[in-house]
Every structure is written in structure tokens, then in C-alpha cells.
């Protein structure tokens, strides 16, 4: 039942919405739709958004076995190849103007990672070896220009001089390393290894799993720390519920790809502990809380957090056989259908709901902007299609 509902949601809600945002004049996809569903055709186009759209249509093509979706992926790929790449200095820009000219030329490790992720899946869908070569080039940039001996750094100028990390720092701190960037480099390398067997990335996955186990994961609190200085000293008391449940299933996915029984024995207890902790601490009122800072819960229901909870709890059920996780996954999916999905014709998901006001939208936050994309919710549907009964 859950599998069928996920496919229907993908086909009837998410895919139609993103198809219509294809920009046939300037390339890529429109970068902003406001709360009232007005499309701003001259809004900035985030390169993360374009990467996530490229991944989404590529993976939808594979999952649904629908070749007609490949043209939407090709459209995103052409835009990435011709505009998002810095042909002079290398790497992916942070954002572009609506016409494909550079806007924010920051080179962020997070952005390079999402491009690798998207290019790898596009290669799997299209067989285009050029995409794999581009992913390999970005891998070399990350490893040679965006990393120190301890791990992955964050933000750089157009020519890869270090700069401050405003883009992925928040909650009043300025982080030199973040769990979030590490997680998505990890995710990108996992996907590239899965589709191509890339040996360099395979080696780095072991490196990152050591960082997760020894630096990121806090065994006393059974959570991941979020923001760090260069030596991985935590900077803030923050428990990111969405990232923890997302990390649990992404790490398990990597363990499946690597097929290393000894590694699985070492790391699996961490993913099980993360899943259990999130279930106990953040699963409330048919949905997942956002985060907890200094012991105070943020009760907003954020769109991507709910999507990751559905996948993460279903993964927990598959790994442990505990029915409570399956029921939680189904429960949150129902919450998404009932509360988070915008029922207006031609819309998709709200950004955020207010728990104090019967889970109504908290404000007129946009339906699309550089971070609001079909990556989390589209992936939720496709993961359920591959996992659920």
C-alpha cells in the first residue's frame, strides 16, 4: 500500500510540478516560485537546485522505467555543463543569474558534492560517459583543493582561496567544518561508487566513515554533532533531528554498497542508535520535530525533515525488523499527504508548518527557491517504491 501511494504521489504531485518549471529560453529550471504560486522567471538559479533537479529526473527515469523523463534530465545536464561549471578555474559555482551567467561565484564543497551525486545518477540513466568524467574532475577538485588532513573544508573563493562559511553556518556560529557538508560528500561518493565502482571515492568513503564514527557521532548523547572548528571540536549544543535520521539510512546505504562485513559490524550500531534516538526524542504528533538547541526543541515541521523521517524509519524497520519504525514511516507519510502537501492546483509541498496552529503553513515561504527542491520528497517516494511492500 505504501509503495503504491508513494508512486502515485510522485506521478501526480511532484513530477508535474517540476516539469512545468523547465526554462526553454535560458536553460535549466526556474529558480523561484512564491507562496502564491507566481513563477519568477528572472530569479537566481541555484546550482544546488539545478543539481538536485538533474538527480531527480535521472532517478525518476530509472525508478519508473520511463524514458520520457530523460529529456528533463538532459535539460538540467546541459545547463550544468554549459553554465554551472567554471571553465577557467574549475568547479561548480554557487548560483547563476536567470540567463545562466555567474551570480555568486563561491566554490563550496557542498555544491561540488551535489553535482557529483547528480552526474553519477545521470550517467546511470543515460549512459553518457562525459557525465562520469565531469564527476571525476569534481572529485579531484574536492580532494586536492577543498580538504585538509582531518577532513573536508567548506567555502572558497572563485579560485579556491578559503573564505568564511556563511552559507552552511547558522545558529550564531561560523563553522570551518560541518556534518552537513561531510554527509553530502559521503552521499555523492557512495552514488558514484555504486554506479561506476570509482576506486578513489571508495577509499575516501572509508576515510569519511572513520570521521563519522570518531568525530561526528557523539556516543554519549547518541547523536551527531553539527558545527565544528577545523579540528572537529563542536561549536554548539545542537541536535539536528532531520540530519540524524537522514544520516542513518545514507550510512546504511553506503555499507550495502561497500559490502564489507567487518565495517558493517563496526558502523551499524551507530545507525541503529541514531534511528532509535530520533524515534524516542523527535517523533511527535505523527511527524518529526526540527531540531533541539541548548535543550529547547524547535517544533516547526520542516518539509525535508518529514521526507527523511519516512525513509529513515522505513530503513530502521528493514534493518531491525521492529514494526514500530514501519508504523512511524507510514504515519509520517499520512501526515505529509494530509498536512504538508499543498492541495492548491499546480503546487507541491509547503516549506514549513506551525505545530501551534494546527499545522498550518508558518508564513508565506516560497514553494521553490535555491534550497526547496524535488530532492528530499522525490527521493522519499522513490525509496519507498524500492523498499516498501
pLDDT digits (tens, 9 = 90+) for 297-326: 999 999 999 999 999 999 999 999 999 999
Range 2-387 has CATH code 1.10.275.10: no
pLDDT at 70: 98
pLDDT for residue 171 is more than 80: no
pLDDT confidence band for 169 (50 / 70 / 90): confident
Q: What percent of the chain has pLDDT over 90?
A: 95
pLDDT confidence band for 178 (50 / 70 / 90): very high
Cell of 278: 530520533
pLDDT confidence band for 116 (50 / 70 / 90): very high
Q: Dihedrals φ, ψ of 157, to 5°?
A: -75, 180
| Cα–Cα distance measured from residue 379 to residue 56, given in angstroms and rounded to the nearest whole number | 7
pTM of the entire structure?
A: 0.97
Chain centroid to CA 104: 21
Note the pLDDT tens digit of each residue in 31-47.
999 999 999 999 999 99
Distant-in-sequence contacts of 327-335, Cβ < 8 A, 24+ apart: 328/279, 328/283, 329/2, 330/2, 331/286, 332/283, 332/286, 332/287, 332/288, 332/306, 333/2, 333/5, 333/6, 333/384, 334/286, 335/286, 335/287, 335/301, 335/306, 335/359
pLDDT at 274: 98
pLDDT for residue 78 is more than 90: yes
Residue spans of alpha helices (H) in the chain: 2-9, 15-19, 47-64, 70-79, 109-126, 129-145, 179-196, 199-211, 241-258, 261-282, 303-320, 323-335, 375-387
Helix (H, G, I), strand (E, B) or coil at 130: helix
pLDDT confidence band for 168 (50 / 70 / 90): confident
pLDDT for residue 359 is more than 90: yes
Triad 40, 300, 338: Cα angle to 5°: 75
pLDDT at 63: 98
pLDDT confidence band for 362 (50 / 70 / 90): confident
Taking alpha carbons only, the member of 368, 308, 364 closest to residue 48 is: 368
| Cα–Cα distance measured from residue 301 to residue 279, given in angstroms and rounded to the nearest whole number | 15
| Cα–Cα distance measured from residue 359 to residue 303, given in angstroms and rounded to the nearest whole number | 12
Note the pLDDT tens digit of each residue in 190-212.
999 999 999 999 999 999 999 99
Cross-strand pairs, 361: 353
Cell of 293: 538547541
- Average pLDDT taken over every residue of the chain: 97
Note the pLDDT tens digit of each residue in 80-115.
999 999 999 999 999 999 999 999 999 999 999 999
Amino acid at each position: 500500500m505504501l509503495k503504491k501511494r508513494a508512486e502515485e504521489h510522485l506521478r501526480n504531485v511532484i513530477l508535474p510540478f517540476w516539469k512545468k518549471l523547465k526554462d526553454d529560453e535560458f536553460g535549466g529550471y526556474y529558480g523561484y516560485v512564491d507562496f502564491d504560486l507566481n513563477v519568477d522567471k528572472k530569479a537566481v538559479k541555484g546550482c544546488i537546485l539545478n543539481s538536485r533537479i538533474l538527480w531527480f529526473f535521472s532517478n525518476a527515469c530509472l525508478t519508473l522505467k520511463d524514458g520520457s523523463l530523460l529529456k528533463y534530465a538532459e535539460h538540467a545536464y546541459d545547463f550544468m555543463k554549459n553554465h554551472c561549471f567554471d571553465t577557467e578555474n574549475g568547479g561548480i559555482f554557487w548560483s547563476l543569474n536567470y540567463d545562466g551567467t555567474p551570480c555568486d561565484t563561491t566554490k563550496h564543497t557542498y555544491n561540488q558534492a551535489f553535482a557529483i551525486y547528480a552526474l553519477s545518477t545521470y550517467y546511470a540513466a543515460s549512459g553518457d560517459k562525459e557525465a562520469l568524467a565531469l564527476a571525476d574532475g569534481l572529485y579531484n577538485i574536492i580532494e586536492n583543493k577543498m580538504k585538509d588532513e582531518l577532513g573536508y573544508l567548506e567555502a572558497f573563493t572563485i579560485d579556491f582561496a578559503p573564505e568564511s562559511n556563511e552559507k552552511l553556518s547558522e545558529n550564531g556560529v561560523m563553522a570551518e567544518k560541518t556534518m552537513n557538508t561531510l554527509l553530502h560528500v559521503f552521499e555523492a561518493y557512495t552514488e558514484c561508487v555504486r554506479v561506476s565502482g570509482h576506486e578513489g571515492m571508495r577509499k575516501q568513503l572509508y576515510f569519511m566513515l572513520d570521521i563519522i564514527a570518531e568525530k561526528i557521532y557523539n556516543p554519549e548523547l547518541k547523536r551527531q554533532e553539527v558545527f565544528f572548528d577545523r579540528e572537529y571540536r563542536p561549536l554548539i549544543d545542537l541536535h539536528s533531528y532531520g540530519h540524524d535520521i537522514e544520516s542513518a539510512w545514507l550510512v546504511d546505504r553506503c555499507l550495502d554498497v561497500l559490502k564489507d562485513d567487518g565495517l558493517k559490524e563496526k558502523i551499524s550500531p551507530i545507525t541503529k542508535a541514531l534511528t532509535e534516538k530520533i524515534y524516542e526524542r523527535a517523533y511527535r504528533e505523527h511527524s518529526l520535530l526540527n531540531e533541539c538547541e541548548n535543550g529547547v526543541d524547535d517544533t516547526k515541521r520542516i518539509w525535508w525533515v518529514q521526507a527523511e523521517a519516512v525513509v529513515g524509519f522505513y530503513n530502521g524497520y528493514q534493518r531491525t525488523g521492529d514494526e514500530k519504525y514501519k508504523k512511524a514511516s507510514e504515519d509520517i507519510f499520512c501526515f505529509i499527504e494530509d498536512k504538508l502537501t499543498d492541495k492548491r492546483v499546480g503546487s507541491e509541498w509547503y516549506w514549513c508548518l506551525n505545530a501551534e496552529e494546527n499545522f498550518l503553513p508558518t508564513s508565506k515561504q516560497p514553494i521553490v527557491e535555491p534550497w526547496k527542491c524535488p530532492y528530499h520528497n522525490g527521493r522519499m517516494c522513490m525509496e519507498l517504491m524500492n523498499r516498501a511492500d
